[in-house]
Amino acid sequence: MNKQDKHFYKALKFFSGKTLQKIFNMKKDNPSDYNKIIPLPIEDILHKIGYISFATEEEKRHISAITPTGVEQLRILEDIKRKELTLIVSVIVSVIAMIISLVALAKSMGWI
């Protein structure tokens, strides 16, 4: 996952867990904390792409800021993150298996 995807994942994960009302309250009450979590350029990009929407409940009847397209993108990014973790674990396990095999070979040959 590249750097931009990591920013998108963090932002989409944040928006998926909050209601519009909580997001509006956080933007109004603690704008510096909100901007630390979600930088303005990332928010603008996600909004332009259509992953998030700040339409009020009366306008679109959305409770969450994340759109269905955003949820789909979040699932894709979660899948990428899971696959990266699986790759890292498999490499570590392969290295450990190779070390064990080399130690067993060395013991059988009398080198150790």
Domain count of the chain?
1
Residue 71 located in a structural domain: yes
Distance, CA of 107 to CA of 112 (rounded, Å): 5
Residue 93 located in a structural domain: no
Residue 56 located in a structural domain: yes
**CB 71 within 8 Å of CB 17:** no
**Whole-model pTM?**
0.78
Residue 103 located in a structural domain: no
Residue 69 located in a structural domain: yes
Digit-coded pLDDT (tens) for 22-35:
898 898 999 999 99
Residue 66 located in a structural domain: yes
Residue 62 located in a structural domain: yes
| Closest-CA residue to 53 (of 32, 69, 75) | 69
Find the domain containing 49 and state its range.
Answer: 3-85
Residue 81 located in a structural domain: yes
Digit-coded pLDDT (tens) for 24-71:
889 899 999 999 989 999 999 999 999 998 876 555 555 778 889 999
